[in-house]
Structure formats: C-alpha cells, structure tokens
Amino acid sequence: MSLTVGLRNITVRLPGVHGKGLVSLLNDVSFEAPASRVTAIVGPSGSGKTTMLRVVAGLIRPTTGQVLLGEKDISRVPASERDVAMAFQSFALYPGHTVRYNLEVPLAARGVPRKQRRKDVDEMLGRLGLDRRAGYRIEALSGGEQQRVALGRALIRRPRVLLLDEPMSSVDPAQRRALVTLLRELLAKEPKPTTLLVTHDWAETSALAEHVVMIEGGRLLQQGSVREILYQPQSLAVLDLSASPFANRVGGLERTSGSACLLQTEGGLSVESSAPLDGDRFTCAFEPDALQTSEHGFPARVCSHRPVNHVEVLEVEISGQRLFAVAEGSESIGTTVRLAFHGPGQVADASGQVVARIQRLWSEPT
C-alpha cells in the first residue's frame, strides 16, 4: 500500500567550496505528495529539485525539518530501510553487464528467490518492450533503451515510493514521447507507487503529473493540481516556469485616474482587472492563444508569423508593444489584423505577486 510523502519545514545547508561557510540548498520547504499519484517537482536548474529527492531517499540528511512517509517521521531512517527506489538522470546502470542482470540486481539484493526473480524480470522485460534485448550488454543499447532499463530497475521491486530525476532529459524528442507513454503505463499498474518526478519540462508535467510542486532558489513557490498552477498562479515566477516560449508580458501598466480596476501603458494599451488594485505599477501576463484574430477586435500590425503546433502564431505591434497572438490562418507581414482578448491572463504587482485576472484587454492609441 502506497503512502503520502511529505516534507515539513525542510532546510538543507551544506559546506561551501573548500569547506568555507554554508550554502543553503533548501529553505523551509513543506509539501505533501498524494499517495499512489505522480507529483511533479518543477523548477529551473539549481533550484533544489534533486536535493529534495535525495532528502526523501535518505541520501542527504536535512539540517532541520521532517521527512514523512504517511504519518511516520523517517528523517533518521537509513536509506536502505525506506522502501524508496530512485531512477537517476544519468541512468546509473551497471556497465559491462546485461539488461537482465541490471533488472535482477534489486531483487537479488532483497533476497528474492532465483525462480521468482526470473519471473519478475521476464514480466518487466515485456512491459519495457525489451524482450529481445535481455542478453544485450548495456553499452549496446540506445539512450532510450537504457532509460527504459533504468525505469524498470527502479520499478521491479514494487517500491512504495518512486523518485525520478529528470528521466527524459538525456533522450531525443521521439524517444521522450515514447518514454512518457511507457511511464504512464508502468505507473498505472497496481500497486501504484507514490511518485516524485523532477522536471523542468511543462509538457512532461501535464502529461504525467496530478500534483505539482513549483520551486525556485530552494524555496517553495506554489503547489497544487496542474489546472490550479496553470489557471490560478500566485506569482510571475510560477507563470515563467509553466509558460510557453511565446508567453506575453506587458510591463509599465499604471492605474488610470478614476478607477481602481483600469490600467494603461504610455502607448495606450489598456487592461481591466477582475478586482480593485492597490499600488502604482503592474505587469500583465498571458499566452498567445488568449489573444486571437477577431472581426470585431482592435487593430494590430503583423511583424512576423510562424506555424506552431498546428496554429499560426503572429508577432504583432499594439500600442508600441510587441506581443504574440494566434490567427486562424497565415497573415502577411505589414498588414493590419484585428484582435480580441479571450483570456486567461493575470495581473501582477511590482513584487511579482498575482493580484487579479485580466478581465479585458484592448488598445486605445494615444
């Protein structure tokens, strides 16, 4: 039976270079990963994602705080006694040995009888699609096949907790898609482990995870469902971690006289917020598909266009701002199109905290 995994007020400080001073890797991090579900830990490089996994695995002892498996504090329980399996970014397979050997090692270490080991390995080879590779040495496999072996080795002993450290990062896009599909199938088989998946790829997160933990600089930014992170972000930092390469940011918005909900740039781009605002300067954020061509919209000049995921993304100039929008078809550079805001979008204050939603967005040239 799988259990929840929780970190409670975890701080990790380790000696710096040449033992000088202490470096903070995690700062008062608390979250709970639901039992038998996939929780994605999302953040930029160096944010503390892998450190969190190592704390859960027992490879790093936290400076302060508790690691919980269900209601049990396992902070001082040795790694070998935690019933936690981990698949590393670098595969960490045994070179010079066969696929079968690599899959069998975790079972042998737990004292599983030889006959049962062979049965379990044969079953896992079938699930991994590596039946015909059982006798191959690891060096003879492709990167995608090696990653399959690494995932199989972590899962074969049916751990309560599975830790995956960027398992797709070392394979090409085609192999990555195949691995995502395979991983979904593997994790759907009972008994389902409680899984923590470290990634900086939002596509992987939305494809695999049901719960998301957003982290930056060793601090928790936000946690919640995929939908909550996408549609109820609490800060621009969270938005940046889930944003597409064409995400729009409009800074320099100021409140207009007479209304606490109306904002405007110097060039005349106007925004109506969903709630009254306090403060002087604001930023709004939204994806290209929030701004679409419309017969009854406001005018914008097309600066460039490109097909992206079966839609046409336009780079347009609106009231002195360069923004990205979505069009039904290709538009010529230099032409004028009409756009309408459909949402969603967010308004953030000067500190980067989201304080309202964008209710309307339009252009009024000054």
DSSP for 232-285 reads: S-SBHHHHHHH--TT-EEEEEEEEPTT-SSEEE-TT-EEEEESS---SSEEEEE
Closest to 362 measured CA to CA, from 341, 334, 335? 341
> What is 5-233's CATH number, 3.40.50.970, 3.40.50.300, 3.20.20.70, 3.40.640.10?
3.40.50.300
Residue 358 pairs in a beta bridge with 273
Closest CA to 205 of 189, 192, 224: 224
* 183: three-class secondary structure by DSSP: helix
Instruction: Provide the pLDDT for residue 1.
Output: 66
Q: Which of 140, 137, 165 is nearest to 151 (CA)?
A: 165
> Helices marked H in the chain — which ranges?
49-57, 99-109, 114-128, 143-155, 173-187, 202-208, 226-231, 236-242
pLDDT value at residue 98 = 94
Token pair in block for residue 180: 């995502």
Average pLDDT across each block of 10 residues of the chain; the chain has 366 residues. List them in order: 90 83 93 96 93 95 96 93 85 88 92 94 92 92 88 90 87 80 86 92 91 96 94 94 92 85 91 92 95 93 91 93 91 93 94 96 76
CATH (residue range 243-363): 2.40.50.140
Q: Cα(74)–Cα(82) distance, rounded to whole angstroms?
A: 8
Which pLDDT score is estimated for 167?
Answer: 84
Q: How far apart are CA 300 and CA 105, in angstroms?
A: 62
| Residue spans per domain, the chain | 5-233, 243-363
Tell which phi-psi region holds residue 325, choosing left (phi > 0), alpha (psi between -120 and 50) or beta: beta
Ramachandran region, residue 279 (left: φ > 0; alpha: ψ -120 to 50; beta: rest): left
Can you give the pLDDT at residue 365?
56
Give the model's pLDDT for residue 302: 96
